[in-house]
Structure formats: structure tokens, C-alpha cells
């Protein structure tokens, strides 16, 4: 039997096991039906952030941002473009530091935008400042093995 990868649903918090061979087929949460690895950027709350960071088997890149931050808003389309390009091998999420200051504090966020790459429960690397999609892709690929298209 093929081994599966664990993915946290950002909508309901349920952990799902998905066969690795089915990742490209657009797996959905078994509880709420939300897409799990479709290349969209997930909006994370504190609980979903913590659960995904701890439990996801796929690399997870989190953008710590705030609505009032101009560079954060400028980078958002580039972050989304990178998410599409690395799906389904890497998942992307955003955490609003204004809405979830305790999570930002635990993550030691000193300035935004800040990107932290997690894999299997640990921080792999971080990158500060607004970046174009090409730099985001290079950052992720330099720290975790992902297929090149």
C-alpha cells in the first residue's frame, strides 16, 4: 500500500492523509471538502498555522504579513504566483500578524513581510522582505528538494 502524506486543512483544521501519487489530482479535505494542495495560498489562523507547521509532511512556506503593510500587499501576487508554480510539492500559507500577534511573537517575527519555510515540524529557513516570485522559488528550492518544472 502506498504511503500517504499528512496535510492539515486550513479551513477546518482536520489532518488528512493523502497518497503521494494523488497530490497532483487536487485532493480535498475528508471533513469539509476544502482543497488541500491546489496551489492556492491558504489563509491561516493561529490554530491552523500551528497544526500545519507541526503536522504537514510537505514543505510549508508561510508569509507573515499585515494589511497595512505596503510591501506585503505588493508581494502578495508574487507569492501567489510562486505557490502555483510549486504546487503540489510545497504548500503556501499567509498569517496576518495583526490578527494573530501571539503566533507572530512565537515565530520571532521582527519585521514584515517575513517568509518562513517549515518542513516536518521544524523551521528550515527564513527570508525577510518583499520578493519577486523567482526569488521565492529559488529560496524554497535551495532548502528543500522540489521537482523543477
Catalytic residue status for 72? yes
Catalytic residue status for 32? no
Rg of the chain over CA atoms, in angstroms? 14
Give the closest residue to 80 by CA, choosing from 125, 133, 19: 133
Which one is catalytic: 8, 9, 29, 72? 72
H-run or E-run covering 117: strand 114-119
CA dist 83 and 90 (Å) reads 7
CA dist 81 and 93 (Å) reads 13
Cis ω on the peptide bond leading into residue 135 (within 30° of 0)? no
Q: Which three cell numbers stand for residue 80?
A: 501567489
List, by residue number, the catalytic residues.
69, 72
Amino acid at each position: 500500500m502506498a504511503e500517504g502524506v499528512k496535510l492539515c486543512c486550513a479551513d477546518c483544521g482536520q489532518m488528512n492523509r493523502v497518497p503521494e501519487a494523488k497530490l497532483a489530482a487536487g485532493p480535498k479535505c475528508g471533513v469539509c471538502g476544502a482543497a488541500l494542495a491546489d496551489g492556492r495560498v491558504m489563509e491561516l489562523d493561529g490554530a491552523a498555522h500551528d497544526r500545519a507547521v507541526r503536522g504537514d509532511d510537505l514543505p510549508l512556506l508561510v508569509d507573515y504579513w499585515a494589511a497595512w503593510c505596503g510591501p506585503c500587499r505588493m508581494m502578495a501576487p508574487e507569492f501567489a504566483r510562486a505557490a502555483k508554480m510549486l504546487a503540489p510539492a510545497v504548500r503556501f500559507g499567509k498569517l496576518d500578524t495583526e490578527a494573530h500577534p501571539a503566533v507572530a511573537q512565537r515565530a520571532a517575527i521582527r519585521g514584515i513581510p517575513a517568509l518562513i519555510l517549515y518542513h516536518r515540524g521544524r523551521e528550515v529557513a527564513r527570508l525577510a522582505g518583499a520578493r519577486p516570485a523567482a526569488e521565492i522559488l529559488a529560496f524554497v528550492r535551495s532548502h528543500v528538494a522540489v521537482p523543477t518544472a
